[in-house]
């Protein structure tokens, strides 16, 4: 069985996530929601909703992704991630999290 793990796409994003737990109530709540999403992704990396390639924003090209997923968080937040895998493990890579409004703008809905 392959090892399944979750990571952030950058150190900056990791620091932003860690910083959420030190901020106001809404940020602490978001930190908790994202942590819960990590648990789900470790159980089933494809538990999110696959985003069709035609909808991918150009800003994600720098990650050289071959798939893109969205995980719906409470309070209309969206967690955007990609899945990489090899012979040994499956890795969900968190690219960003956005409010629903930011998500609609980024994906041009």
Closest CA to 90 of 44, 49, 54: 44
Sheet with strand 89-98: strands edge to edge: 3-8, 89-98, 78-85, 69-72, 49-50
Closest CA to 83 of 48, 39, 53, 32: 48
pLDDT tens per residue across span 22-42:
989 999 999 999 999 999 999
CB 41 within 8 A of CB 81: yes
Contacts 24+ apart (CB under 8 A), 16-25: 17/94
Fold type of domain 3-106: YaeB-like fold (3.30.2310)
- Cα→Cα distances 25→29, 33, 73, 103, Å: 6, 12, 16, 22
- Global confidence as pTM: 0.94
pLDDT tens per residue across span 59-92:
998 999 999 999 999 999 999 999 999 999 999 9
């Amino acid at each position: 069985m392959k090892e399944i793990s979750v990571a952030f796409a950058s150190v900056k994003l990791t620091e932003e996530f860690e910083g959420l737990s030190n901020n106001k109530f809404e940020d602490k709540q978001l930190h908790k929601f994202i942590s819960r999403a990590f648990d789900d992704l470790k159980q089933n990396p494809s538990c999110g909703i696959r985003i069709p390639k035609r909808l991918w924003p150009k800003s994600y090209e720098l990650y050289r992704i071959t798939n893109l997923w969205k995980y719906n968080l409470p309070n209309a937040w969206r967690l955007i991630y990609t899945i990489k895998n090899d012979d040994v493990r499956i890795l969900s890579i968190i690219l960003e999290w956005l409010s629903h409004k930011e998500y609609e703008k980024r994906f041009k809905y």
